[in-house]
């Protein structure tokens, strides 16, 4: 029993360290990453997000909340394959059926990819389609869904940068952004914990 307690005590700081790397300050440092236009009311297209000191290109997938250029807030990176994604999206979009999350996010990814090199009018249209996935009352998002179903999209390569206080819900949250992160963004915690847990359990059995 004492060995089990020791093993868990050694595991705890590892959990905290890995979890902390997924959370940190994010600053909306630039609009467009070289392209992007205003649709007359809102910015459309790529944005630059500095998360924990590294710049990422992203698009806003959330028309229901606000983010101000130059502002810094506390954010969490959530891979689209992470089990916590459902809780995050429920907080942001309580009127969307959870069974639709994957379909809608794949459509957002299609929009993200299609914006590369797109013209002003196409970028604005794509942004409205992206917003339409989770705000169908404000925008029509149906055009992206058909190609997203047939496209060979690597869903697990993408993630969301969301307000670290997403659980509070409501209009006070900062916008959610879809990013295609490089390898500097860590993998989700669960996989690490499973691996460490199996090693520790194997060691304990051998000790007995």
Q: Is the dihedral of CA 19, 33, 28, 141 positive or negative?
A: negative
Distance CA 187, CA 198 (A): 18
Q: List, for residues 64-104, the tens digit of each pLDDT value.
A: 999 988 899 999 999 999 999 999 999 999 999 999 999 99
- 50 exposed, middle or buried (CB, 10 Å; 0-12, 13-18, 19+)? middle
Count helices and strands in the chain by DSSP H and E runs: 6, 8
Phi, psi of 29 (to 5 degrees): -85, -25
- Enter the tokens of residue 132: 């339409």
Residue 142 pLDDT greater than 60, yes or no: yes
Q: In the structure, what pLDDT confidence band is assigned to residue 137 with cuts at 50, 70 and 90?
A: very high
pTM of the model: 0.77
Paired with 160 in beta bridges are 78, 178
Task: Identify whether the C-beta of residue 37 lies closer than 8 Å to the C-beta of residue 45.
Answer: yes
The domain limits of the chain are 1-21+187-208, 27-185
Rounded mean pLDDT of 150-156? Answer: 77
E strands within the chain? 23-31, 37-38, 43-44, 47-51, 54-60, 72-79, 159-163, 177-179
- Enter the tokens of residue 109: 């990814």
């Amino acid at each position: 029993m004492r060995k089990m307690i020791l093993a868990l005590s050694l595991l705890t700081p590892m959990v905290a360290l890995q979890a902390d790397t997924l959370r940190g300050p994010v600053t909306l440092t630039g609009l467009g990453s070289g392209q992007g236009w205003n649709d007359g009311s809102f910015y459309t297209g790529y944005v630059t997000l500095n998360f924990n000191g590294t710049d990422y290109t992203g698009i806003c997938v959330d028309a229901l909340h606000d983010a101000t250029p130059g502002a810094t807030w506390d954010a969490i990176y959530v891979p689209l394959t992470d089990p916590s994604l459902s809780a995050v999206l429920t907080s942001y979009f309580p009127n969307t059926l959870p069974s639709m999350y994957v379909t809608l996010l794949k459509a957002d990814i299609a929009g993200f990819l299609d914006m590369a090199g797109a013209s002003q009018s196409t970028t604005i249209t794509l942004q409205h389609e992206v917003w339409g996935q989770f705000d169908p009352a404000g925008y029509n998002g149906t055009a992206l869904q058909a190609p997203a179903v047939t496209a060979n999209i690597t869903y697990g390569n993408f993630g969301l940068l969301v307000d670290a206080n997403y659980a509070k819900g409501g209009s006070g949250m900062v916008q959610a952004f879809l990013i295609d992160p490089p390898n500097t963004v860590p993998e989700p915690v669960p996989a690490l914990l499973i691996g460490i847990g199996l090693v520790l359990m194997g060691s304990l059995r051998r000790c007995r």
